[in-house]
Amino acid sequence: MQTPSLSSLALFLDIDGTLLEIAETPRSVAVDPALKDLLGALHSRTQGAVALVSGRRIAEMDALFRPLTLSAAGLHGFERRGASGTHQHRRAPSTRALEGARRAMLDLANRHSGLLVEDKRFALALHYRLAPDLQELVASTMTQIAERTRPEFELQMGKMVAELRPAGATKGAAVAQFMSEAPFSGRRPVYVGDDLTDESAFEWVNGVGGLSIAVNVPGATAAQQRLPSVAAVRMWLADLLSDPYKSKS
């Protein structure tokens, strides 16, 4: 893996599966002090050009990484907080669409052990990590639910999860917005992620001459480079700090 110059970069980092190992449930993760220190140092060295881009809500990200507060995009780009602290979000889906989808997903989860519905207020996720044999059932049922909630929701498949996200919200669009603002503008974007939800960001970054890195993705991806694990991501980020003036890519 080549190491670019940190002083010229804007870093966009997914969380689960990229900075943190994926846990059995979303609430069972914890952020260790070493990771907070690493991200804090990167934030300082880049003059603030570091953002977390996740399917989690921004409030949840803040709770995980407290006292560190970074620029962030949550719910796959539905909500965003820039370096100035200003919050923005896309048009919210209707209460009717949310309630209908929530009832259908809870009904499925109540009938099958191992399924977990994660309510993100403006998005809904159905996790089947504890019941991997239900993958086909989850995919087919969530496809039907998504069809009933169009055009307000779109179905987003991920690693052992099927999610309804507000239509038009993508991580790629969130990165594009960040790159139009200080301190990100004028820098080379680097996006690191591990899942199908990150592909739109890979594609956008590639299109503007940035660097896209997939983590533990054995199959096809738009990412230019790959890292094998969360540990490898942390080592690569630490290497950026070790010599911020090197430029090999």
Question: Which amino acid type is present at position 14?
Answer: D
> How far lies 4's CA from each of 1, 51, 244, 249, in Å?
10, 18, 8, 5
CA distance 93 to 153: 7
Q: Which region, left, alpha or beta, applies to residue 69 given φ > 0 means left and ψ of -120 to 50 means alpha?
A: beta
- Residues with a catalytic annotation lie at 14
Answer yes or no: are the C-beta atoms of 212 and 222 closer than 8 Å.
Answer: yes
Task: List beta partners, residue 16.
Answer: 20
Decide the pairing of beta strands 87-89 and 116-119: unpaired
Tokens (6 digits) for 233: 């991501």
**53 phi and psi angles, rounded to 5 deg:** -130, 110
How is 98-151 classified by DSSP, letter by letter? Answer: HHHHHHHHHHHHHHSTT-EEEE-SS-EEEE-TT-GGGHHHHHHHHHHHHHHHTT
Q: Which helix (H) or strand (E) holds 21?
A: none
Q: Please say whether the dihedral angle defined by the alpha carbons of residues 239, 19, 62 and 167, taken in this order, is positive or negative.
A: positive
Cα 111 to the chain's mean position, in Å? 29
